[in-house]
Amino acid sequence: MSEQIPYVAQVGGPIAGVVTGNPMTLKQSKANGSAALEARATQLAKACPLAKFVILGYSQGSEIAGDFLSKVGNREGSIDPSRVLAGVLLSDPSRSPSTPDPEADAPVANPVKLSSVAETMIGPNVTGQGVLGTRDKGMGVLAERVTSFCAPNDSVCSLSGKSKAIAAIVPLLNLSPEDIPDYALNKGLELVRNVASADPADLQKAATSVITQLTRLTVAASVSPVTLPMELARVVFASTMLDDVAKVVNMPEFDALVSLTHPEELVQQATQVAAYLLLDAHRSYASYPVDAAGDTATQWAVKWVTSKVQAAA
């Protein structure tokens, strides 16, 4: 028996709601999907004591499926790990990295398990990790029973460590109006804590950088106002001031802003967005081959799951 767990998949919150008519945030959508999966799995487990489970998910569905499998694999879920035959995650937004250097421009030849509890990646290796970060506890005892697929250029599951702006924007897009006051307050408190606990040497360096660059701008404004735009651009793109301040601020949102002033990181992020929008990599899982036999991701998954079911019969 197989069935699809119904829920409303939504990313973008109120901003996406302008187009879709549904202001549901990613957090709310995930919560609905997770609750539906947990409820149905619990119901089936009780009704069919001998039943085994295969959990599959795509995109946001793989985020929900992966979270479910992670909880089960760490013995925190609604069913026992022994009842899970397999898990398949296509374009998982929380995919574990499979290349040691998260900021590498090119992946190592074959996927690498950087943690004993990481899921097993199948197919061509990619850089980066999921756009929503990774699961702290991995897949636990289910690590070898959960496979993950990530198509080249699919930034949902292969966001580079250089793509700080994209990683910061996704959570911001999903803030509801009710979330904004608490978000702003928490970020303000975080900023104060980070500055208060910063290394004195970093604080001194940041202060010196800010004073030096402000002095340069003040002199330019008073001596030759027409040079001010060029001097401001030099401060932003050619000085270390923002990087020095970033060490003290130590917040992903500020790091995201700074990343846009680094040409190589700006190009990396622009390339990832263009590839996602133009190459349609996010919907290529039925067409790109993952093994020497030429099986696509979906074909490989079907064969693998079938073998697991037959072995358990």
CATH code at 151? 3.40.50.1820
Q: What is the CA radius of gyration of the chain?
A: 23
Reported confidence tier of residue 41, pLDDT bands at 50, 70, 90 = very high
Spatial CA neighbour of 66 closest among 26, 97, 93: 93
- Tell me which DSSP letter residue 195 carries: H
Residues 205 and 306 in one domain: no
Residues 194 and 260 in one domain: yes
- The phi, psi pair for 149, rounded to 5°, reads -125, 135
Q: Compute the average pLDDT of residues 42-68.
A: 94
Residues 42 and 131 in one domain: yes
Q: Is a pLDDT exceeding 70 seen at residue 20?
A: no
Give the pLDDT confidence score for residue 22 in this predicted structure. 66
Spatial CA neighbour of 34 closest among 2, 74, 77, 94: 77
Tokens of 29: 């959508």
Please say whether the beta carbons of 102 and 129 come within 8 A: yes
Angle at 135 between CA 169 and CA 43, to 5 degrees: 110
Residues 168 and 221 in one domain: no
Q: Could you give the CA distance from residue 119 to residue 138 in angstroms, rounded to a whole number?
A: 7
Write the pLDDT tens digit of every residue in 210-231.
999 999 889 888 888 888 888 8
Residues 124 and 68 in one domain: yes
Q: Could you give the CA distance from residue 117 to residue 36 in angstroms, rounded to a whole number?
A: 25
Q: Is a pLDDT exceeding 80 seen at residue 267?
A: no
**Number of domains forming the structure of the chain:** 2
pLDDT > 90 fraction of the chain, expressed in percent and rounded: 52
Q: Is residue 5 part of a domain?
A: no
The H or E element that residue 120 is part of is: strand 120-121
Q: Is a pLDDT exceeding 70 seen at residue 15?
A: no
Give the pLDDT confidence score for residue 145 in this predicted structure. 96
Residues 161 and 249 in one domain: no
- Tell me which DSSP letter residue 57 carries: E
Residues 79 and 125 in one domain: yes
The H or E element that residue 253 is part of is: helix 252-259
Q: Is a pLDDT exceeding 70 seen at residue 148?
A: yes
Q: Could you give the CA distance from residue 88 to residue 121 in angstroms, rounded to a whole number?
A: 10
Q: Is residue 178 part of a domain?
A: no
Please say whether the beta carbons of 25 and 176 come within 8 A: yes
Residues 251 and 225 in one domain: yes
Reported confidence tier of residue 279, pLDDT bands at 50, 70, 90 = low
Write out the residue range of the structural domain in which residue 86 sits.
Answer: 13-173+281-312
pLDDT, greater one: 272 or 151:
151
Instruction: Name the strands in the sheet holding 84-90, side by side, starting at the edge strand that comes first in the sequence.
Output: 53-58, 84-90, 146-149, 120-121
Residue carrying the six token digits 């990530």: 150
Residues 249 and 300 in one domain: no
Q: Is a pLDDT exceeding 90 seen at residue 236?
A: no
Give the pLDDT confidence score for residue 161 in this predicted structure. 79
Q: Could you give the CA distance from residue 56 to residue 44 in angstroms, rounded to a whole number?
A: 16
Q: Rounded mean pLDDT of the chain?
A: 88
Q: Is residue 218 part of a domain?
A: yes
Q: What share of the chain is helix, strand, coil (3-state, %, to 5)?
A: 55, 5, 40
Residues 295 and 161 in one domain: yes
Reported confidence tier of residue 69, pLDDT bands at 50, 70, 90 = very high
Write the pLDDT tens digit of every residue in 75-124.
999 899 999 999 999 999 999 999 998 888 889 999 999 999 999 999 99
Write the pLDDT tens digit of every residue in 161-216.
777 777 777 777 667 777 778 888 988 999 999 999 999 999 999 999 999 999 98
Please say whether the beta carbons of 297 and 285 come within 8 A: yes
pLDDT > 70 fraction of the chain, expressed in percent and rounded: 94
Q: Could you give the CA distance from residue 31 to residue 78 in angstroms, rounded to a whole number?
A: 15
Q: Is residue 3 part of a domain?
A: no
Give the pLDDT confidence score for residue 167 in this predicted structure. 73
Give the pLDDT confidence score for residue 169 in this predicted structure. 73
Q: Is residue 127 part of a domain?
A: yes
Residues 269 and 292 in one domain: no
Q: Is a pLDDT exceeding 90 seen at residue 14?
A: no
Q: Compute the average pLDDT of residues 57-79.
A: 95
Spatial CA neighbour of 98 closest among 152, 170, 30: 152
Residues 296 and 150 in one domain: yes
Q: Is residue 6 part of a domain?
A: no
Strand 120-121 relative to strand 53-58: parallel, antiparallel, unpaired?
Answer: unpaired
Give the pLDDT confidence score for residue 36 in this predicted structure. 95
Reported confidence tier of residue 262, pLDDT bands at 50, 70, 90 = confident
Q: Is residue 37 part of a domain?
A: yes
